[in-house]
Every structure is written in structure tokens, then in C-alpha cells.
Amino acid sequence: MRKWKILGFLLLAIMSAIYSFSQPQVVKQKQETALYVTLEGAFKKTGEVKIKEGMRMKELVDQVGVKENASLAALDLERVLKAESRYYLPVIRSDAISLNKGSIEDFMKLKGVGRKTAEKIVNYRNTHVYTCLEDIMNVEGIGEKRYLAYRDQLCL
């Protein structure tokens, strides 16, 4: 009888060991990918900033703050932020050219902008509204490089 108990116990131990090794260990890890945007210009905090998915520009402005001379009118505060994007907040300048009101002659004052490009900027405005400074990159002939050169001289 004692032999059967020992044999039963050993059999149970062996079966338990086999069962525990045959079951894969499932470890669920909630991977949360961090979302970042890059802020430049008159934000109080510039560089990479962590954001939440679906966050709007207004929430970001409240989170990081803006400098006293910031031109908030240049931002679309209702815009949903896109991860890995750059956002620039210009400072208020009295000599800035308004994308929504500037004339062809005004735009021709920008270095490298001739009459044709100035006309394209104005024509774009006739069919679209400039809601942020980056919209100027939608004009044919103006890419990121030219936008970066002009952004301090522009306002909405």
C-alpha cells in the first residue's frame, strides 16, 4: 500500500512537471508607443514634446505655454496634432506679411520671390484660406526649405 502511495505521488509529480513545461507562458505587455511633436519658435518649451493621441493644438499650448510676444493667431488651435510633426509659433512682428491679406508686391519683398510666385501665393488664397503658416507649402514652388526661410516674415 505504501509503495502505491509513493508511486502515485511520483506519477503526479512527473505529470505536473510535464504539464507546466508544455504550457507556454503568455505574458501580456501593454505596449504604449510614445507620441512626440517638435515645437519651435515662441513656445515656452521647444524641442520634442510628448503628446497624447487625438490631442489638439489648444491643449498643447495650455500644456507648454507661449512667450509674451507669441503670435497665437498663426496657429489653428483646433488642429489635431500629428505625431512626428513640427509646429512653429512665430513672434508678433509689425512688418510681417499677412498670408491672407498681403498683396503681390508685399510677397515680392521676400528674398527669392518673384512676381509669378507672389501671384501663386495670392491665387492660392482665393481658393483656400491660410489657416496656419505651413499652408504656404501647398503653393507650387514653395517647399519646406523656402517656408523655413520665410516663416519669420509671415503672419496670418
pLDDT digits (tens, 9 = 90+) for 95-154: 888 888 889 899 888 888 899 999 999 999 888 888 888 888 999 888 889 888 888 888
Least confident range of 7-21, 45-59, 77-91, 100-114: 7-21
Identity of the amino acid at 128: H
| Cβ neighbours of residue 128 closer than 8 Å, sequence gap 6 or more | 135, 138
Q: For the chain, which domains are there?
A: 35-89 (no CATH), 97-155 (1.10.150.320)
* pTM of model > 0.85: no
pLDDT at 76: 83
Max CA distance (Å), the chain: 108
Query: If you ran DSSP here, which 8-state letter would residue 44 be given?
Result: S
pLDDT digits (tens, 9 = 90+) for 13-31: 787 777 766 656 666 665 6
Smallest CA-to-CA distance from 148 within 86, 101, 97, 98 is with 86
